[in-house]
Structure 1
């Protein structure tokens, strides 16, 4: 292809501007992407890595235009494959007990029995731990109650001993006071008798 006697490169160009201004040609860099698999991906294989449409692989430098249809198609196929895998995994769970073979049904029942046994063992283990903790708590409360009772008994014993000593001391003081009062009263009586004996008013000795 030639224009005004000048040969142009085979790379597609984009013309910018209107009819009155001179036309400017900008080359478009071709996009190279890896081949996208169209077949359904099995559950055992790994999914391809997601591509960034703004920076696809194989393009070193971004110029005027950048086609991203292949990258979008790659990501869309990847999403579809992942959805198919998730759908298959979800429906494989309830397909066996209804539409599976006898071996698959028996294996499914065995898994259910094992799961129930595991749940029962975990429940019993939790109940045993709760009972053990409750028994330990009850033992701690009983020990604290016993210690409190012993403290109360010791306090009552100390108080009883103090009150007994207080009583004995009061009794001793009262007895000594009574004895002193008796002695003082007997001395006063002797003194009065002596006074009456030598008092000239009582010559006959009738006053005592």
Structure 2
């Protein structure tokens, strides 16, 4: 054997003793023997009733607190949902405005391109007519 005890054995014994005392308090104090005195039975019943009453009040209070907490959380979620919906509609409006502006710009660009193409075609026709008019093959001016 060792000359010294395990250094944790003393603490282990204390913990076991405290656990045993707690278990005894929770279980043994409520046991009433069938042949006990009337006064002991009445105090036992009174203790049981008061304990049950406290437990019921505690349960009711915790249920109320849970309900309040849940309603508060639901209000927060509803508010967040509204904010998200508003931000989504704002984004959608902004996106549609951007697309409309892009469409307008593209339309203007296409119209400018068509106008430029028309002008270059007309200019090309005038240039070709001038070239044909000055061409020695077309001195009779029949090709214009």
TM-score interval, smaller chain: 0.5 to 0.7
- Helix, strand or coil: the match of 2:137? coil
TM-score normalised to structure 2 length:
0.65
- Helix, strand or coil: the match of 1:188? helix
Unaligned runs of 5+ residues in structure 2 are: 1-27
Higher relative contact order (CA 8 A, sep 6+): 1
Residue 80 of structure 2 is matched in structure 1 by: 144
Q: Is 2:37 aligned against 1:100? A: yes
Work out which of the residue numbers 93, 112, 120 in structure 2 matches 1:184.
120
Unaligned runs of 5+ residues in structure 1 are: 1-90
- The CA deviation at 1:179 is 0.2
Residue 16 of structure 2 is matched in structure 1 by: none
Moved over 4 A (4+): 91-98
Q: 1 or 2, which has the higher helix percentage?
A: 2
Q: Is 2:97 aligned against 1:167? A: no
- Helix, strand or coil: the match of 1:201? helix
- The CA deviation at 1:189 is 0.4
Aligned positions, number: 117
1:97–1:104: 8 Å Cα contact kept in structure 2?
A: no
Q: Is 2:59 aligned against 1:118? A: no
Equivalent-residue separation in structure 1 for 2:34 and 2:64 (angstroms): 35
TM-score normalised to structure 1 length:
0.48
Note the aligned Cα RMSD (angstroms): 2.7
